[in-house]
Structures are given as structure tokens and as C-alpha cells.
Amino acid sequence: MTTSGITRRMFGVATTAAMTGVALPAVWMGRALASDAVREGIQIGALGALRTALPAAGKSSDLTFDVKDFRDSTAALLAIEQGELDISNTTTQHLIRAISETIPVKWVCGWGGGYNVLVAQRGLNLKQGDNAALQSLAASRKQSGKPVIFGVPTGSLQHAKLAVYLKSLQIDPDKDVQIANIPFPNHPRALDAGEVDLAMTLSAFGAIAIENGNATLFLHLFGGSFGKQEVGFIVTEKLIKEKPDLVQRIVSTHVDAMKTFMGQPDKQIELEKKYSRLPDPVIAMQERDFLRYNFRTNMADIKTMARELHQLGWVKEDYGPKVESFVDFSFVAKASGLSPTDLSSW
């Protein structure tokens, strides 16, 4: 129970009641037993299964969650820096941004990956994963003066992954092809209208484009050299220092919630449907074919992201050596019973 708003008279009534054994009014008992409200930042439309599972998981920790929607990870990062949030999901790219700008946050729990989906116009007849065909198409279109157009929000994690992938094929993303700055929700329409040849998009919009019938999956940039760790959760160092018990309860609740669906596609779909307004086939494709969840964190993938962002010129140095100082596994270790070593990969 907070002391703000309690008058001397109210304090006296409470003290007298406690000393004489008189029962307090129900409203007072309600305040005393009220759950702590946690302000959580999540991108619009994302993490539906978690949103659905959190309320039940939070009961054992006496927490309620006030989820605030953000347009992107940049907005959420700024909000948590300004003290508007207690916890927020973020991408590995934005963790590196936090390091580069010395924003005092800690990555405290993993979420997963699988969000990077490259889809192509069906008319291109590109077979899935045919790198040679993409190289040939890029070369011939550049020669004709009509470069291949990739739709992706510039500066996003997907843009970074696309640029690294193209470079691995000796395709210069700045000279050999054209990058069109198109928001994720517009990707299916842009593919349908022929405004772009391919779109590096989020799993949900990739699934929509494929279900619409005018696009095919060219590549799911997940696992192997692409890495798996894309998203996790951060809190401020200030919250850890001032309210470590609250942070523990928050992280424990997230771990408990994730355990109810992690590695269970049918359960993921069931929970996602309760939140999402996407068509059932789109949800099924996203959860079965693309997304993978885990509260552990692939540390190697975050360090790889740091190196790649530096190679792309998006940050001034390789912040890989500083990554571990921005990660705190102590809370998820206590919540899961796993060691920090076990939590460092999945």
C-alpha cells in the first residue's frame, strides 16, 4: 500500500484498527492486497501468445501487466530510457544501439527469433533458397537499367539482415539493387501491385503475402549463419538497482508464461488466436513455419549482430566485446533453475 494520499486521520484509523483487532473496510484490504502493475512495452500486434499468457502467469507473482503498444523498437527503447516502462521487448540491433549510445539497460530474458522472411513476387519464378538465381537476376536487371527492388523499412533489423545477406552473395545493396523504404504492413500490397520484386519482411506479413497467392517464400533467414536470436527483453539498470525483487518477479512471470507454449506450435497458435486478428492460416504459418521462442539467449548471435552493424557502417565500432556487460542472466537463472552458461545458447 502506498503512502501517497493517506491522511493523518486515515493513518490513525488504520493504526487503531490494527491495535484493537477491528476489521478494516474492504476497500482498505483491497489496497493492501493489490497487485503491482507492470508497464510493459511491446510492438503493435506482436507477441500475441505472451500477451495472452501473462495475466494468468502473473497471479503467482502478484503482478498485473499494463501493455503499451509501440510502433517500433526505437520508440520502445526511448520510452524505457525515459522511465515510461518497466520492461520492454527489443531486438538485438537495438541492444547494440543502446550500447553505442550508453543507454543504461540490461537484457534480462530471451524471447526468440524467426521474424526475418524474404518473399518474392510469384512471377519471378525464384525457387526457395536459389542464391545463384538471385545473383543472376540482380546482375541482369542492373545491366538493363531496371534494378531489382527490395522493400524493407530502412534502418530496421530486417534491413540489416538483408544487407548482410546480399553482401554474402557479392551483391552490393547500395549499388547493384534498389532498397525501397516501405513499412512492413504495406509489403503484401506492394508485392501485389508490382511495386517491389522482393520484400524483406516480418513473419506475419510474409505469411499474408504468401497466403494472398502473389508471393512465394524465397528465404527464411533463421538458424545457421543467420543466427536465431533476434528479440529479447530489457529493463533499466535503475530498476535492477532499486527494485531487484520486482525485476525477479517480472522475469519469473515471463519465463512461466513462455513455458506454457514454448516449443508447442499448437499452443502457440491457440494463444495467438485469442489476441491476433490475422486470418487463421496466416497465424498457423507464422507459428509453425517461422517463429521459435525461448527464454534463453544466443549470446554469439548478439555479438555477431554487433560486428555486422559495424561492417555495414551503422555503428562506429564493433560493440561485441561490450555485449556481456549489457546482459544480466541472474533473474532468468533463478526463474528457470538453469545456469548462466546453459542460458547463453539455445
Classify residue 302: in a domain, yes or no: yes
Q: Are residues 216 and 235 in the same domain?
A: no
Q: Please give the DSSP secondary-structure letter assigned to residue 288.
A: I
Give me the pLDDT at residue 35, please. Answer: 74
Classify residue 83: in a domain, yes or no: yes
pLDDT tens, residue by residue, 297-327: 999 999 999 999 999 999 999 999 999 999 9
- Say if pTM beats, i.e. exceeds, 0.75: yes
Q: Are residues 76 and 181 in the same domain?
A: no
From 162, 196, 221, the end of a domain falls on: 221
Q: Are residues 273 and 205 in the same domain?
A: no
Q: Is the pLDDT of residue 77 over 80?
A: yes
Q: How far apart are CA 147 and CA 166, in angstroms?
A: 14
Classify residue 20: in a domain, yes or no: no
Q: Are residues 317 and 194 in the same domain?
A: no
Q: Is the pLDDT of residue 21 over 60?
A: no
Mean pLDDT, rounded, for 206-228: 96
Give the CATH number for residue 211. Answer: 3.40.190.10
Give me the pLDDT at residue 70, please. Answer: 96
Q: Are residues 109 and 185 in the same domain?
A: no
Classify residue 39: in a domain, yes or no: yes
Q: Are residues 102 and 246 in the same domain?
A: yes
Q: Please give the DSSP secondary-structure letter assigned to residue 314.
A: S
Alpha helices in 64-130 (DSSP H): 73-81, 92-100
Instruction: Calculate the CA dihedral of residues 198, 202, 206, 208 and round it to 10 degrees.
Output: -130
Q: Are residues 330 and 250 in the same domain?
A: yes
Mean pLDDT, rounded, for 273-281: 96
Classify residue 4: in a domain, yes or no: no
Give me the pLDDT at residue 278, please. Answer: 96
| Domain extent for 153 | 117-221
Q: Are residues 257 and 172 in the same domain?
A: no
**Nearest Cα to 231, choosing from 114, 318, 125?**
114
Name the maximum alpha-carbon separation found in the chain: 91
From 200, 221, 242, the end of a domain falls on: 221
Cell numbers at residue 28, please? Answer: 482498505
pLDDT tens, residue by residue, 125-167: 999 999 999 999 999 999 999 999 999 999 999 999 999 999 9
| Residue 24 pLDDT class (50, 70, 90 cuts) | very low
Give me the pLDDT at residue 137, please. Answer: 98
Let me know the angle formed at the C-alpha of 256 by 252 and 262, rounded to the nearest 5 degrees.
Answer: 130
Alpha helices in the chain (DSSP H): 8-20, 26-33, 48-59, 73-81, 92-100, 131-144, 157-168, 187-192, 203-212, 237-242, 244-259, 265-275, 280-285, 299-311, 330-336
Give me the pLDDT at residue 30, please. Answer: 36
Classify residue 244: in a domain, yes or no: yes
Q: Are residues 124 and 202 in the same domain?
A: yes
Mean pLDDT, rounded, for 53-73: 95
From 202, 221, 240, the end of a domain falls on: 221
Q: Mean pLDDT in the chain? A: 91
Classify residue 82: in a domain, yes or no: yes
Cell numbers at residue 190, please? Answer: 506492394
Please state the domain count of the chain: 2
Q: Is the pLDDT of residue 339 over 50?
A: yes
Q: Are residues 262 and 161 in the same domain?
A: no
| Residue 34 pLDDT class (50, 70, 90 cuts) | low
Give me the pLDDT at residue 127, please. Answer: 97
Q: Are residues 262 and 328 in the same domain?
A: yes
